[in-house]
Chains A and B, each alone.
Chain A
């Protein structure tokens, strides 16, 4: 699976949009981009995933560049409860379901 690069940490003011970038320059055509987050001392929580089109759900939006070499997770109105480590993971659809976690981005939402 392709590796991803994320900034180690980011800050965001409560109520503002949090934009978390992810680089995956070696992504293959059949690999999806998944985002998970992990709040302290809990199991990871699925957020969203996409292949090449932008995706939106009740939690977030995922913007994937046209060349698919990078993506951005957008939390439109960050709250204090969004403070967590966010993981961007790419995985081929034929893979045996493995998710390989990198170091992620620690997002701190402040009042």
Chain B
């Protein structure tokens, strides 16, 4: 159980185009989903937190108009990189929280990641 998928697993696009990445919780309802970015040989950096039906909360320094997040259902969140540039090339990873009934020790489960290359 607790499987998170991402699509696509990798994408190559031209500079100036927009790219959409999907994150799905396959066997549970995710109250909260998160988006991370990871550059080579670096750790994961949290970009934003999204709750179903509400606006995402972005971390300091992350441009909300560039990284559009939509969390339309309890099983799907999307990240759209608008007007992508080569510096946006990175490994994008989503995660989802599955609440354990009665105890707030919810665990985050991560997707396999999407590698974006902007030419």
Chain B interface helix/strand/loop/mixed: strand
CB distance from A62 to the nearest CB of B (A): 13
Between A and B, how many residue pairs show CB distances below 8 Å?
58
A6 to B107, CA, bound (A): 21
Task: Give the interface residue-count category, chain A.
Answer: 20 to 34
CB distance from A42 to the nearest CB of B (A): 6
Minimum-distance CB pairs A-B, first 6: A43-B110, A101-B44, A101-B43, A44-B110, A93-B104, A43-B113
Interface residues, chain B, with chain A CB atoms under 8 Å away: 4, 6, 32, 34, 36, 43-46, 49, 57, 91, 93, 95, 97, 104-113, 115
Interface residues, chain A, with chain B CB atoms under 8 Å away: 32, 34, 36, 38, 41-46, 49, 51, 87, 93-94, 96-104
